[in-house]
């Protein structure tokens, strides 16, 4: 046995022949940039979310999607945006890129999602937006969040990077707020290598995100190289270079077509883990809430050293030693030196996110995993974590 080739990589994408063929066809077509495949991917994604074709815009990352959404929402510079401390840095960085002020509201310890009561408590006269993250694929409490937004006249921008399959009371996440932002990064549930999608309630605002995502060039610029011939364009504002390529869409198209099949597979792995780890001195993910569909993006277990006898970091190292890759989602935002220095934040101010961030371990959960891979993860966890 060769340990190096046997290492189970965390978050390895499932790439099949359909997308490989599509990428090759795209290369052979000679049209690599934003073109017909991006248009098809947008149309398919709109259908997936049950929105109109003019309510989506493909970009090159979820970070870009969040950034231009906040700009298109026309929030005045320096206004406050409330988000969760238990998220990837991109959520907070996008707020900063948009010239806005991030304000953190602690999470619910069970759901790990932003706590609506903490949002209410964080509202000031300068608050203009709420940026909830559907963490690990679990939908946030959108009834409560939308009620707060209506009461205080706030924009809602949903970070759906983990949650392309998630629904809340039958409605896809990303369609509650003014904007929903999705990621097609390699470890996400639908993979395009890099990529993002904006879903918007308002077609004019989506049109604005398109302009912002392509140098601030007028709408027709997207089609300026089409077979209808050259068209002049106008630069309307100083935009960004955030467009998606057809090569990315070639991957995304077929990944999206398998989104339900892959979700079923991850749900099956999830249940195997739930059963296998029920007797261990660790905390397993909370049961999904009734009348919601959990995106099943991350299977996170909590290692409390006082209960488990070993630390979280020991578990991370021991899992690597036995050949299983793991992840940490996430050390809370105020654990990072940049935010500490810029805002004077300390992790203790958001104690629930701090505790979760210091105890959490994500186990491999990809549709590409075989039954044998699942067994290996289960055996590894049982080997590393002593039973009670």
Ligand X SMILES: *Cc1c(COP(=O)(O)O)cnc(C)c1O
**Which CB atom, from 106 or from 159, has the smaller least distance to ligand X?**
159
Interacting residue with ligand X among 86, 133, 198, 269 (CB under 6 A): 133
Residue nearer to ligand X on the CB measure, 138 or 376? 138
Residue with tokens 């060039």: 217
Only one of the segments 34-42, 158-166, 206-214, 267-275 lies at the binding site for ligand X (rule: CB under 6 A); that segment is 158-166
Nearer to ligand X, 62 or 221 (CB): 62
- Between 312-321 and 371-384, two packed helices, what is the crossing angle to 10 degrees? 130
Helix (H, G, I), strand (E, B) or coil at 295: coil
**Using the rule CB under 6 A, which residue among 44, 115, 159, 246 binds ligand X?**
159
* Cα three-residue angle 324-328-334, rounded to 5 degrees: 165
| 87 forms part of the interface with ligand X (CB under 6 A) | yes
Least spacing, CB of residue 314 vs ligand X, in Å: 25
Q: Are strands 196-200 and 179-183 parallel, antiparallel or unpaired?
A: antiparallel
Binding range to ligand X, per CB under 6 A, among 57-65, 167-175, 286-294, 332-340 = 57-65
Whose tokens are 């050293």? That residue is 305
Q: φ and ψ at 275, to 5 degrees?
A: -70, -45
Q: Is there binding between residue 295 and ligand X (CB under 6 A)?
A: no
DSSP 144-166: HHHHHHHHHT-EEEEE-TT-TT-
Binding range to ligand X, per CB under 6 A, among 69-77, 155-163, 304-312, 378-386? 155-163
Q: Which helix (H) or strand (E) holds 334?
A: none
Report d(CA 227, CA 336) in Å as an integer. 49
Question: Residue 183 or residue 326: which is nearer to ligand X going by CB?
Answer: 183
Residues near ligand X (CB under 6 A), total: 14
**Quick count: other Cβ atoms within 10 Å of Cβ 323?**
16
Rank residues 108 and 280 by Cβ distance to ligand X and give the closer one.
108
Q: Which of residues 171-200 bind ligand X (CB under 6 A)?
A: 183, 185, 196
Other beta carbons within 10 angstroms of residue 342's beta carbon come to 11
Contact yes or no for 91/119 (Cβ under 8 A): no
Closest to ligand X by CB, 242 vs 277, is 242
Q: Binder to ligand X among 34, 61, 113, 262 (CB under 6 A)?
A: 61
Q: Which of 162, 210, 254, 376 binds ligand X (CB under 6 A)?
A: 162
Q: Which residue bears the tokens 């249940």?
A: 271
Of 352, 285, 295, 328, the closest CA to residue 114 belongs to 352
- Residues 298/292, Cβ–Cβ less than 8 Å: no
Closest contact distance (angstroms) between CB of 63 and ligand X is 3
Give the helix ranges, DSSP H, for 197-311. 203-212, 246-257, 259-276, 305-308
Stretch of 59-67, 272-280, 310-318, 344-352 contacting ligand X, by CB under 6 A: 59-67
- Out of 188, 241, 355, 372, which one is annotated catalytic? 188
219 counts as catalytic: no
Nearest distance in Å: CB 30, ligand X: 27
Shortest reach from residue 138's CB to ligand X, in Å: 12
State in angstroms the smallest separation of the CB of 335 from ligand X: 16
- The closest alpha carbon to 8, from 300, 365, 266, 296, belongs to 365
What residues make contact with ligand X under the rule CB under 6 A? 61-63, 87-88, 90-91, 133, 159, 161-162, 183, 185, 196
Catalytic residues: 188
């Amino acid at each position: 046995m060769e340990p190096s080739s046997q290492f189970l990589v965390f978050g390895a994408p499932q790439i099949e022949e359909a997308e490989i063929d599509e990428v090759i066809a795209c290369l052979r077509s000679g049209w690599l940039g934003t073109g017909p495949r991006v248009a098809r991917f947008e149309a398919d994604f709109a259908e997936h979310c049950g929105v109109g074709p003019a309510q989506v815009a493909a970009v090159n990352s979820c970070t870009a999607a969040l950034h231009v959404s906040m700009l298109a929402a026309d929030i005045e510079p320096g206004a406050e945006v409330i988000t969760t401390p238990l998220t990837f840095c991109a959520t907070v960085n996008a707020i900063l890129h948009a010239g806005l002020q991030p304000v953190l509201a602690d999470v619910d310890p069970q759901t790990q999602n932003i706590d609506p009561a903490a949002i209410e408590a964080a509202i000031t006269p300068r608050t203009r937006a709420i940026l909830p993250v559907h963490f690990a694929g679990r939908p946030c409490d959108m009834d409560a969040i939308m009620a707060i937004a209506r009461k205080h006249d706030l924009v809602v921008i949903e970070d759906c990077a983990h949650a392309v399959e998630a629904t809340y009371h039958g409605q896809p996440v990303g369609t509650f707020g003014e904007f929903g932002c999705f990621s097609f990064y390699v470890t996400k549930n639908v993979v395009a290598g890099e990529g993002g999608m904006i879903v918007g309630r308002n077609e004019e605002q989506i049109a604005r995100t398109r302009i912002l995502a392509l140098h601030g060039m007028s709408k027709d610029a997207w089609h300026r190289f089409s077979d209808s011939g050259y068209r002049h364009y106008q630069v309307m504002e100083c935009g960004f270079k955030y467009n998606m390529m057809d090569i990315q869409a070639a991957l995304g198209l077929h990944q999206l077509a398998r989104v339900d099949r892959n979700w079923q597979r991850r749900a099956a792995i999830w249940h195997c883990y739930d059963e296998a780890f029920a007797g261990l001195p660790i905390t397993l993910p909370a049961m999904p809430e009734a009348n919601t569909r959990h995106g099943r993006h991350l299977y996170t277990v909590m290692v409390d050293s006082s209960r488990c006898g070993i630390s979280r970091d020991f578990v991370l190292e021991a899992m690597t030693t036995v050949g299983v890759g793991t992840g940490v989602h996430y050390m809370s935002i105020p654990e990072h030196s940049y935010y500490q220095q810029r805002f004077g934040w300390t992790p203790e101010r958001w104690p629930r996110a701090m505790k979760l961030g210091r105890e959490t371990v994500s186990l491999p959960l990809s549709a590409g995993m075989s039954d044998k891979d699942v067994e290996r993860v289960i055996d590894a966890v049982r080997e590393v974590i002593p039973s009670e």
